[in-house]
Structure 1
Amino acid sequence: MFKAIVMEIKENYIIVMKEGGEIVRVNKKEGLKVGETIFCLDEDIYNVKVESKNKTLKTWLIPLGAVAALIIILINPIFNMFSPSLNTTYAVLTFDVNPSIEFDLDNEGKILNVKGINNDANMLNIEVIKGLTVEEGAIKLKEILTSENYLGNGNSILVGFSFLGGDNLEYEERVQNIVKTTFTDTNIAFIKGNEESLAKAEEQGISLGKYEAIAKLDEDGVEEAFENLSTQELLDLLKANNSNVFLNEDALDELQDEIEDRLEDETEDKEDDDHEDYEDEEYDDHD
């Protein structure tokens, strides 16, 4: 994966400049603008044959429309010295109830952008969240979801989180605490991802949290994945699946079996403990 600036938008591809200054062509994506920062995978690079030396020369000519973008690129580092968090996505936070919603956060926890990932989310007035702090945004999102009857019916929330660079444990814990203290009456399953899974989720048109849940519960590793989760996390996952259908039938059966086995084991352990306590009390009475 590499970070790049959109230089020019062509009919079948776009021209971008990578962080090191290399100019490459990548497959065209809708909704992009000149000067915008994007993340690309190696497979996104556009396949084109250079038929002549003249054509090779043309690929190195910077179109007039890209000059303005280049100036922005040169100015931005200087400007960002004074405003390091401005228009720079530092982390991504996603929420799945039935609507799938994404927050793009800067390094101070301000919401730079908010978007709906599915049709249910696009029906909500989530634009008002943009510009708020992550705490204010979480509270506002809860108000919106509650008013539209997405919360309060035993629904769970699947929360996805990822940095776009190195990890920051203090920042991550702050976000987790904000989510937990805001949605106090709701079961929450918190799943962390990375830049690669973020790009894959975007390709598939789903949230980061939903993509990570699917990736962790694929057919080859579903049993092992369940074994590494606590009973409460398994219950949260089951509840989240009831309102967000992302587990296939086999994985859902495996999840339900694992929960039943866990609950049976915990019941047996409790009965054994109660029996031992009773025997201890009876022994003390004889003394």
Structure 2
Amino acid sequence: MNEIKKAFKKITPHRLDEIKEELKYRDENIVVETKKKKRHYLFAVPVAAVCMAMVLMLLPSTHAVETVVGLDVNPSVELNLDNDYKIVEVKTNNEDGKKIVGDMNLKGSDIEVGVNALIGAMLKEGYIDELKNSLLISVTGDNEQENEKLREQLSLNIDELLKASDINGSIVSQTISDKDIEALAKQYQISVGKAEIIQQLVSKNSLYTFDSLKNLSIHELNLLLQSNQVDQVSITGNASESGYIGKEKAQQIALTDANVSNPEMAKVEMDYDDGVMIYEVEFYKNQVEYDYEINATTGAIVKKEKDNEHSTQSSSQSTQQNQTTSSSNNQISQEQAKSIAKNHAGVSTVSQEKMEKDYDDGIYEYEYEFVSGNYKYEYKINGTTGSILKHEKEYVGQVKINHNDAKQKAFQHAGVSSSNVYDVDVELDDHHYEVSFKSGHYEYEYEISAENGSILSHEKDYDD
């Protein structure tokens, strides 16, 4: 009781009386008082049976585990719950988790009480602060609808606790239904929740591997999640970059080194490469592309590239290009290209967006694909003038799942891990996604319903 009281003192003083009252009877022994009765041999067996049933009803129940809630910061703790959301067992996945749990006996407590106590202890010990403001909640169980409700409620509760401690937290939350993730977690000796996050990142970015990401903190993984826009997780707030040089400083370092001013900025994003958190800085100037990798902690230039192969054209090609682009050396941004396409299509709300920038026949082009209503739109836009070079509109029916959902459905059915696949391609066609990929010595092709995610067809061929 003293330990829980200390954990709550700072952040939830208004809840202490309620929590104490709830925990007061958790370990109370139940005594059944019996009185001597006159002997009625005819009813002896029924009466004994009724008494036994009453005793069993009064004794503490031993509910089976229905749901598992994982909390990961650096401390990693799992709470096993029964169907009443009472804590059946507390498991710790690392030494920091053991430190946080300490002597607290949370068995029999409501999930809200247990989570509040653990978050309070993490705040007290400095595991969550303004520099490292990320926390991961993972809910695993058979009832997906109830899991989603619990995920949302826990996320809201924890956000309130952090704000009460003057911390603008970034809470990553997810529900997990993939049973295979437990094997990956065991293989890499990390929590199931962290393994699921890494799997999503690996499937989103082919440059990542489990081995390269397994030792990252939840805060570092959150920074990568926000750069890679993973769909399967919910993120509230922004992961703090206060412990790093920041995007503006990284951009300035790259521009100063390149001796470039007023470029078209393509992106400045947090990334991870060769064991170091970096900022990827990409920009264009006078048809030349610049790519920089800046150490996110020290500001040192890790890598830089200058792609000017297209400027070494023949004089006739250069003359033709200069005539084409003489009106303007400034290129339109991605957001401008999107706006041009959506205005032309006459739509405002879109989903399933895919944007690529390429260099073709002496000019930069944006290739933009999106879905609105029951149609898929594809646009090719001149990156300098903003003129529409090509556009298509195709009926695809109701689209309720995204590219990544379709891909994961195919991986799951094929029995392969996203970390072991390559040459992945996902295209939205009439009412379905066409998903193709390779794993091991095999090539797989799937058609996945865009409306409900069902598998319409699949093939598996030996890859020579």
TM-score by length of 2: 0.32
Q: Which has the higher contact order (CA 8 A, sep 6+)?
A: 1
Decide which structure has greater strand share: 2
Decide which structure has greater helix share: 1
TM-score by length of 1: 0.49
